[in-house]
Amino acid sequence: MSEPKTKPTDASVDDFLAALEPARRREEGRTLCALMREVSGEAPVMWGPSIVGFGRYANVTGTGKSADWPRMGFSPRKTALTLYLASTPRTEAMLAKLGPHTTSVACLYIKRLDRADMDVLRELCAASWDEMRRCYP
């Protein structure tokens, strides 16, 4: 059985964020990190080379394999900030108020954080964190 590529590392989150380019993405990464740290009460941890995660839970795949994954996290990618958040019954209504974004099955993509409603983003993160604690105590 192969090892998962995305797992916690000892790499410095601060160093990772400080190296981001352009400067706007660096500041967005720092802002998201502070927001998620405040909401979760957890210290950020690098997961693989490019995901900043908070907390941990055992994710069981459809094949029955289990792998650790952050309860909440983000990756400041070149084209967009990718946020890993759990859906809740309120997610759709909150997303309608967030500002420009796109979604996939498990990700929220924001191209520019300065166009997002930060109060709504904080609500989304808090609801996600609570949902993960409920589903994975």
The C-alpha atoms of residue 86 and residue 79 are separated, in whole angstroms, by 22
Predicted pLDDT of residue 5: 73
Is residue 1 included in any domain, yes or no? no
Is residue 111 included in any domain, yes or no? yes
Is residue 2 included in any domain, yes or no? no
- For residue 22, whether the previous peptide bond is cis, meaning omega lies within 30 degrees of 0, is yes
Predicted pLDDT of residue 66: 85
What residues make up the domain containing 30?
A: 13-135
Contact of 82 with 74, CB cutoff 8 Å: yes
How many structural domains does the chain have? 1
Is residue 17 included in any domain, yes or no? yes
Is residue 5 included in any domain, yes or no? no
- Give the closest residue to 71 by CA, choosing from 94, 98, 41, 95: 41
Is residue 6 included in any domain, yes or no? no
Mean pLDDT per 10-residue run, the chain (137 residues)? 76 98 97 98 97 94 86 96 96 97 94 98 98 93
Query: At 47, which amino acid appears?
Result: W
Predicted pLDDT of residue 3: 60
Contact of 92 with 84, CB cutoff 8 Å: no
CATH of the domain at 40: 3.90.1150
Stated as kind and residue range, the H or E segment containing 67 is: strand 66-69
Is residue 3 included in any domain, yes or no? no
The C-alpha atoms of residue 128 and residue 116 are separated, in whole angstroms, by 17
Is residue 115 included in any domain, yes or no? yes
- Is the pTM higher than 0.85? The answer reads yes
